[in-house]
């Protein structure tokens, strides 16, 4: 497994594809443009969802726009992805997902049949995830602008009592638990996009993770934070956690599950699975004494069958992520610098 | 003033610009594609915001994507518009606007300086409207896709106790109250887009209406429903209300305020101000005994100085809107059929 070497980036005066990667450039845009303007303590926590108190209710609130290309892929489509993505951001905040909004930006000339298929897929995904789509919006842009359809979903969840999850709560010694294999979503998209035929077909892992989260909280409240490693992959997610908590994180290569077909496609395409997007996996940072129980509980859930402790907080400089490789060497796992795979979600 | 004659539309198998107009085609798309798939009682009310109960809190929830072209215009920009639009949809539901999400779809190559200007404008508009932008998302699409920037804002508000506003609550005899002049936003956008120079410059009326709503509720709770007549203009909004409430609505041409420059531009361009978008006006359907007090209260507010009773529920067939013209004739005011002005918000 190779590790992407970050190259220093010049100050940019225009938006680059990499600004949407979930990696370093995304973080820069957030730090330089959005945070100074919108400055407030909730946004400043930089979690994937806002924790709100409103009218006595403890809510989680999160938004995501989906611009995935192609719109249909093995294992899902932009509609199911848009539901799963927002359900998961709520679930990662320890909230019960409840309500979604759905806003469509359609391109003139987009086949109504495809729209119907996407909307049906959203409805099915929402029903299975137990969330209700309660409000929406549709805009249309001229042919040649947009890409068929972009979807924004924004979600409201009800936070669990007594649970506070945040990426700044990790302490040295905490276990890093990953729910399963890496890279399936990104590779599925890329195969579809490039017309790549693999010996074994790779399906997106796109799925709603909230019942897996329920299974975790059924055994312990001792979870520091949870994240779904989507854009920028596991590497970027762990770097964000390390940065926010000011701890080092060490992961162990031999504990990572990467399916042969995914590994093969990544080698062929020069991608590093650590940086490839997942849409149905979670990383939990867990107090060490609870880690065994969490893994056991996750393995009994269909979406957590390959759950494992893949690392530990500590053993690296504060704010950094390193990997002990199968060969016994140690490598720095930096945040994604540019963009391996634009338009992945 | 001419009235747009609706032409019957063939069944469409692709998305047309008119599907984003807020008029007939938008309603068709909603009825044929979205509602059957997402079927639930909250969405089925077809109001501009969902009314939710969650954790004991009575919330309003609404979403809007903004694709206005050009991004900057006299009186505002896509950033301030995106804040005002969602604040207003919450306010029209009788809710106190509280929190917004902001999701950006950026085009590769978009100048960071312009993005900064838009984000600053959003921040200013949010601060003035007393709402906090608590969560966000950024995606980037390749150059040539998208149009610089699309913004989705989704908002949460706290509903007033004892207030239920819905477009199906209007009864014969209710007063139609409009807060001010018609057509300023649409004409401002069009002038900017077409490089049209008018003798008097027309500014967008883009503004947050929640304090005007506060002023109304300070004098009476007897409001049936409120709407901001954006896409599709006053005509489409009144048609939606008439359709939902199954009452007729009659409006009086001489009571409508249309600035000379707006009227002139509309005549020049063959537009009907009744169908042109407004972004800082509200229509309230009010119990007749409270109408005088509401108008008086609105006129004391900077955004309601030209408020007037412009019509009454009744005097037309159930579900229809008619206008008594200045000449004493009566005309049917149908819903917008196609799209007078695409990409207006």
Per-residue pLDDT tens digits for B86-125? 999 999 999 999 999 999 999 999 999 999 999 999 999 9
What's the gap in Å between the CA of A176 and the closest CA on chain B? Answer: 26
CA B29 to CA B33: how far, in whole Å? 5
What confidence tens digit (pLDDT) does each residue in B159-207 have?
A: 999 899 999 999 999 999 999 999 999 999 999 988 888 778 899 999 9
Of B143, B105, B77, B131, the C-alpha closest to A139 is B105
Residues in chain A with CB shorter than 8 Å from the CB of B38 are 102, 119, 122-123, 126, 133, 136
Which residue in A17, A37, A113 is closest to B120 by CB distance? A37
The pLDDT of residue B9 is above 80: no
Question: Quick one: DSSP state of residue A302?
Answer: G
Nearest-angstrom CA–CA distance, A180 and A146: 34
pLDDT band of residue A5 (cuts 50, 70, 90) is very low
Cα A36–chain centre separation: 24
In this complex, do A156 and B152 lie within 8 Å of one another by their Cβ atoms?
no
Asked if B113 reaches chain A (Cβ–Cβ under 8 Å), the answer is yes
Chain A CB within 8 Å of residue B217 CB? no
Residue A136 has pLDDT above 80, yes or no: yes
Q: At what angle do helices A260-269 and A184-194 cross, to 10 degrees?
A: 60
Q: At residue B290, what are phi and psi to the nearest 5 degrees? A: -100, -5
Lowest mean pLDDT among A93-102, B59-68, B191-200: B191-200
Spatial CA neighbour of B191 closest among B340, B292, B70: B70
How many angstroms separate the CA of residue A54 from the nearest CA in chain B? 7
A220 part of contact set with chain B, CB < 8 Å: no
The candidate with the shortest Cα–Cα distance to A94, out of A28, A32, A40, A169, is A169
Closest-CA residue of chain A to B38: A123
Q: Which CATH number fits domain A49-159: 3.40.50.2300, 3.40.950.10, 2.40.110.10, 3.30.1330.10?
A: 3.30.1330.10
Could you say which of B136, B141, B156 has the minimum Cβ distance to residue A343? B141
Is the pLDDT confidence value at B221 over 50?
Answer: yes
Q: Which two tokens stand for residue B49?
A: 């915001």
For residue B77, what are the contacts with CB-CB under 8 A and spacing of at least 6? B71, B117, B118, B121
Short-list A316, A154, A280, CA closest to B63: A154
Residue range A115-140: average pLDDT?
97
Cα within 13 Å of Cα(B184), Cβ side = 20
pLDDT of residue A196: 81
One-character DSSP codes across A239-261: HHHHHHHT--EEEEGGG----HH
Is the ipTM of this structure higher than 0.90? Answer: yes
Instruction: Quote the CA–CA distance of B35 and A136 in Å, as a whole number.
Output: 10
- B34 and A122: CB-CB below 8 Å? no
* pLDDT computed for residue B289 by the predictor: 97
Residue ranges matching CATH 3.30.1330.10 in chain A: 49-159
Q: Could you count the other beta carbons within 10 Å of the beta carbon of residue B31?
A: 11
In angstroms, the CA B77 to CA B81 distance is 6
Determine the average pLDDT of the residues in A296-320. Answer: 97
Which of B202, B207, B200, B208 is CA-nearest to residue B189?
A: B202
Largest CA distance in chain B: 57
Q: Which region among A204-213, A288-297, B17-26, B251-260 has the lowest average model confidence (pLDDT)?
A: B17-26
Location of structure tokens 């169908």: B275
pLDDT of residue A58: 94
Q: d(Cα A249, Cα A313) in Å, to the nearest integer?
A: 4
Give every CB contact of residue A203 below 8 A, 6+ residues apart in sequence.
A74, A75, A184, A188
DSSP 8-state symbol, B221 = S
Residue A55 phi, psi dihedral angles, 5° rounding: 55, 30
Residue A141 sits at φ, ψ, to 5 deg, of -115, 160
Q: Do A101 and B62 touch (CB under 8 A)?
A: yes
> Which among A52, A111, A147 has CB closest to B99?
A52
Cross-chain Cβ contact A342/B15 below 8 Å: no
CATH superfamily of B167-332: PurM-like C-terminal domain (3.90.650.10)
Inter-chain touch B113–A13, beta carbons under 8 Å: yes
Q: How far is CA B16 from CA B28, B113, B311, B339, in A?
A: 12, 33, 33, 9
Query: What pLDDT shows up at residue A12?
Result: 64
SS (H, E, C) B30-48: HHHHHHHHHCCHHHHCCCC
C-alpha distances (whole Å) from B8 to each of A31, B59, B336, B338 are 51, 39, 12, 10
Closest approach of A254 to chain B, Cα-based (Å)? 33
Mean pLDDT of A170-185: 98
- Distance from the Cα of A94 to chain B's closest Cα (Å) equals 15
Contact A105 B101 (CB under 8 A): no
**Minimal Cα–Cα distance from A174 to chain B, Å?**
27
Q: Does B132 touch chain A (CB under 8 A)?
A: yes
> Which residues, 6 or more positions from B208, have their beta carbon under 8 angstroms from its beta carbon?
B83, B84, B87, B88, B91, B97, B125, B128, B129
User: Inter-chain contact A67–B123, Cβ cutoff 8 Å?
Assistant: no
pLDDT in tens, B321-331: 999 999 999 99
- Host H or E run for residue B99: strand B95-107
Name the residue with higher pLDDT: A8 or B304.
Answer: B304
Q: Where in chain A is the domain with CATH 3.90.650.10?
A: 167-332
For the ranges A5-9, B23-27, B80-84, B269-273, the maximum mean pLDDT occurs at: B80-84
Q: Judge contact between A165 and A223, C-beta under 8 A.
A: yes
Q: Mean of the pLDDT values across residues B29-42?
A: 92
Answer with the residue of higher pLDDT: B21 or B207.
B207
d(CA A263, CA B12): 44
Q: What is the dihedral of CA B297, B302, B305, B308, to 10 degrees?
A: -50
Give the pair of three-digit tokens for residue A25.
Answer: 């450039």
- The pLDDT value given to residue A342: 82
**Does A122 lie at the interface with B, CB-CB under 8 angstroms?**
yes
Neighbour count for residue B56 (Cβ, 10 Å) = 8
What is the overall mean pLDDT for chain A? 93
In chain B, which among 42-101 make CB contacts under 8 A with chain A? 42-43, 49-50, 52, 54-59, 61-67, 98-99, 101
Contact B305, B216 (CB under 8 A): no
How many beta carbons lie within 10 A of that of residue B101, not counting itself? 27
Spatial contact of A81 and A150, defined as CB atoms under 8 Å apart: no
Residue A4: the pLDDT is 45
pLDDT reported for residue B12: 64
How far from B282 is each of B85, B131, B234, B339, CA to CA, in Å? Answer: 12, 20, 9, 21
Report which secondary-structure segment, H or E, holds B15.
Answer: none
Alpha-carbon distance of A253 to A234, in angstroms, equals 12
- Kindly list the residues from chain B whose CB atom is less than 8 angstroms away from the CB atom of residue A140: 15-21, 342
Contact at 8 Å (CB) between B242 and B27?
no
pLDDT of residue A42: 87
**Which tokens in the block code for residue A181?**
């294999």
Paired residues of B283 in beta bridges: B178, B227
State which H helix or E strand residue A64 sits in.
strand A57-66
């Amino acid at each position: 497994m190779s590790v992407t070497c970050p190259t220093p980036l010049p100050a940019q005066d225009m938006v680059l594809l990499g600004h949407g990667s979930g990696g370093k450039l995304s973080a820069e845009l957030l730090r330089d443009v959005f945070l100074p303007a919108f400055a407030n303590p909730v946004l400043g926590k930089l979690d994937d969802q806002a924790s709100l108190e409103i009218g006595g209710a403890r809510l989680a609130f999160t938004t995501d726009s989906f611009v995935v290309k192609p719109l249909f892929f093995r294992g899902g489509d932009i509609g199911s992805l848009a539901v799963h993505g927002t359900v998961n951001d709520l679930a990662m905040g320890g909230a019960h997902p409840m309500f979604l909004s759905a806003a469509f930006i359609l391109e003139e000339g987009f086949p109504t049949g495809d729209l119907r298929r996407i909307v049906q897929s959203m409805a099915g995904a929402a029903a299975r995830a137990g969330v209700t789509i309660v409000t929406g919006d549709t805009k249309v842009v001229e042919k040649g602008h947009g890409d068929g359809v972009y979807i924004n979903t924004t979600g409201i969840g009800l936070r669990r009592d007594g649970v506070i999850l945040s990426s700044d709560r990790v302490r040295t010694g905490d276990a890093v638990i990953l729910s399963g294999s890496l890279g399936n979503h990104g590779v599925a998209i890329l195969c579809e996009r490039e017309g790549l035929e693999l010996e074994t077909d790779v399906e997106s892992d796109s799925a709603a993770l909230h019942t897996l989260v329920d299974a975790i909280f059924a055994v312990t409240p001792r979870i520091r934070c949870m994240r779904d490693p989507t854009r920028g992959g596991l590497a970027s997610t762990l770097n964000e956690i390390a940065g926010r908590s000011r701890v080092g994180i060490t992961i162990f290569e031999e504990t990572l599950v990467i399916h042969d077909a995914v590994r093969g496609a990544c080698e062929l395409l020069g991608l590093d699975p650590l940086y490839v997007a997942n849409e149905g996996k979670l990383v939990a940072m867990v107090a060490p004494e609870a880690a065994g129980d969490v893994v056991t509980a996750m393995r009994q859930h269909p979406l957590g069958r390959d759950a494992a402790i893949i690392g530990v907080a500590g053993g690296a400089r504060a704010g950094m992520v390193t990997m002990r490789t199968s060969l016994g060497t140690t490598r720095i796992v930096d945040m994604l610098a540019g963009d391996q795979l634009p338009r992945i979600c």
